[in-house]
């Protein structure tokens, strides 16, 4: 495909993206944008330095390879470099969205779909404003390297996102029904789901009372459990944080106990959704990576560079925001593994606690904080009245030990809007999830 320069490592990542965004603010169409973009990231490594070039004219890839090669110093032993040894050589195509590609759907159909939801929100006087967004994306990637890698795959989603401001008792509350699918056709029968969530939010806004601050046993929904796993532990598992930091390497020694015996935290790009990446941006295959297994620190997330530095194996987590950026270590779909309790058994073990149903945002490294969007009291094992909570927080490592119950089924949560931020590369699409998680001694304000 390309003439790779001798005695240098070269890889090329070609991306072609199609997106649609339709934005309606209070019944007025403020954006209807269709965008196609194609470009490539070219990298050359001579054993001591990386050389990069990002271009939008893919007919000039060979020219850019030749230009970068002039800056590098030929290294006859390049293929024996530890980074090259860490890389996988894969040859495979995983194209699963060609038959139902969203770019085949007329824009008028997408517009009609999002407009068809307006009447749901017109019914309720407590809704003071409403934003409706239709968005979709189809992405194709092709990665080739001088080592012999040649992989291609596609990603896709179609989504409906609503943001409504509900005002009850002079207090604003945001309702944000979100529907994420992997094809346009799957969006056709989602009205009941959207209206059910809206009604729940209207009831919450009308009846929620301020929580009494204190320390509680909390049950986290799969969505909240997922953001806890992502923010509190996933980022700590990105191995580039450890390069050159001997203290962190000692604190995060593999084989150390870091949580309760029933706790597993995993990351994988294998599952369809917003974290789907069957190959990373170095062509390494996605894997099911245990970060914590039965409470033991078992693994971390790697690029070829960090894997070589720490003498571990690649995990399929070298990811870039798009073709303008080089790959760095990033999460894909990060989640807490399933337990052995039914949801009913999990709640039954809480006499007086809180159910955290949804969140506005979360953050955390040593200390985590999550701002709930909806929460409810748990009384004698049953979900009771809604409560308003500013934030829940705790020490990450102590909290991992305080998890004492997990339901049997894992739910994966994808998002079309937003994503994960790291360095200058944001928002990168990721997913998270988990079972229902019961955890003791959570600080609630």
pLDDT in tens, 272-286: 999 999 999 999 999
**Confidence (pLDDT) at 1:** 86
Question: Which residues, listed in sequence order, are joined to residue 172 by a DSSP beta bridge?
Answer: 167
Q: Is the pLDDT of residue 361 over 90?
A: no
> Quick one: what percent of the chain has pLDDT higher than 90?
93
DSSP 235-255: GGGBGGGTTT-HHHHHHT-TT
Encode pLDDT of 284-337 as tens digits: 999 999 999 999 999 999 999 999 999 999 999 999 999 999 999 999 999 999
Question: Which residues, listed in sequence order, are joined to residue 420 by a DSSP beta bridge?
Answer: 428
Exposed e or buried b per residue across 69-96, where buried means at least 16 C-beta atoms within 10 angstroms of its C-beta = beebeebeebeebebbebbbebeeeeee
Mean pLDDT for all residues in the chain: 96
The token pair at 237 is 């598992």
Q: Please report which confidence band the pLDDT of residue 245 belongs to, taking 50, 70 and 90 as the band edges.
A: confident
The token pair at 228 is 């806890």
Nearest by Cα to 363 from 393, 334, 333, 389: 393
Taking residues 406-429, report their average pLDDT. 95
Nearest by Cα to 160 from 413, 333, 417, 429: 417
Q: Is the pLDDT of residue 437 over 80?
A: yes
User: How many other CB atoms are there within 10 angstroms of residue 177's CB atom?
Assistant: 22
The CA distance from 440 to 41, in Å, is 47
Encode pLDDT of 146-163 as tens digits: 999 999 999 999 999 999
The token pair at 292 is 């914590």
Radius of gyration of the chain (CA): 24
The CA distance from 319 to 334, in Å, is 14
Q: Is the pLDDT of residue 250 over 90?
A: no
The CA distance from 335 to 168, in Å, is 35
- The torsion of the CA quartet 163, 166, 167, 171, rounded to 10 degrees, works out to -70
User: How many other CB atoms are there within 10 angstroms of residue 361's CB atom?
Assistant: 12
**Confidence (pLDDT) at 232:** 85
Q: Please report which confidence band the pLDDT of residue 72 belongs to, taking 50, 70 and 90 as the band edges.
A: very high
Q: Is the pLDDT of residue 364 over 80?
A: no
Return the residue matching tokens 């005002």. 167
User: How many other CB atoms are there within 10 angstroms of residue 109's CB atom?
Assistant: 9
**Confidence (pLDDT) at 249:** 83
Predicted model pTM:
0.95
């Amino acid at each position: 495909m390309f003439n790779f320069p001798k005695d240098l490592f070269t890889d090329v990542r070609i991306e072609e993206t199609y997106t649609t965004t339709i934005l309606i603010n209070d019944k007025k169409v403020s954006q209807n944008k269709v965008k196609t973009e194609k470009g490539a990231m070219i990298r050359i490594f001579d054993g001591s330095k990386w050389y990069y070039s990002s271009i939008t004219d893919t007919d000039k890839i060979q020219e850019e390879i030749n230009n970068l090669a002039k800056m590098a110093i030929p290294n006859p032993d390049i293929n024996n470099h530890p980074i090259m040894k860490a890389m996988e050589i894969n040859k495979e195509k995983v194209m699963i969205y060609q038959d139902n590609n969203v770019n085949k759907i007329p824009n008028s159909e997408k517009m009609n779909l999002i407009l068809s939801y307006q009447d749901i929100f017109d019914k309720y006087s407590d809704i003071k404003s409403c934003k409706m967004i239709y968005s979709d994306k189809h992405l194709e990637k092709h990665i080739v390297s001088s080592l012999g890698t040649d992989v291609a795959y596609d990603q896709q989603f179609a989504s409906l996102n609503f943001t409504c401001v509900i005002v009850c008792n002079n207090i604003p509350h945001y309702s944000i029904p979100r529907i994420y699918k992997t094809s346009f056709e799957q969006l056709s029968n989602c009205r009941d789901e959207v209206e059910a969530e809206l009604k729940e939010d209207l009831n919450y806004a009308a009846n929620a009372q301020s929580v009494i601050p204190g320390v509680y046993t909390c049950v986290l929904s799969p969505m909240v459990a997922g953001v806890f796993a992502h923010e509190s532990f996933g980022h700590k598992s990105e191995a580039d944080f450890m390069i050159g930091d001997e203290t962190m390497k000692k604190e995060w020694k593999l084989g150390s106990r870091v949580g309760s015996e029933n706790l597993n935290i995993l990351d994988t790009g294998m599952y369809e959704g917003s974290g789907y990446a069957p190959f990373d941006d170095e062509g390494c295959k996605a894997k099911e990576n245990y970060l914590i297994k039965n409470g033991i620190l078992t693994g971390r997330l790697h690029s070829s560079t960090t894997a070589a530095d720490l003498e571990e194996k690649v995990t399929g987590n070298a990811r870039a925001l798009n073709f303008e950026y080089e790959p760095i270590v990033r999460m894909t779909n990060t989640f807490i593994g399933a337990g052995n309790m039914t949801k009913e058994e999990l709640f039954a073990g809480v006499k007086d606690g809180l159910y955290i149903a949804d969140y506005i945002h979360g953050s955390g490294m040593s200390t985590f904080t999550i701002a709930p969007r909806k929460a409810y009291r748990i009384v004698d094992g049953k979900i009771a009245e809604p409560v308003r909570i500013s934030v829940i927080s705790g020490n990450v490592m102590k909290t991992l030990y305080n998890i004492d119950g997990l339901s049997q089924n894992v739910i994966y949560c994808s998002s079309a809007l937003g994503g994960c931020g790291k360095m200058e590369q944001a928002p990168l699409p990721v997913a998270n999830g988990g079972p229902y998680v019961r955890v003791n001694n959570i600080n609630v304000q």
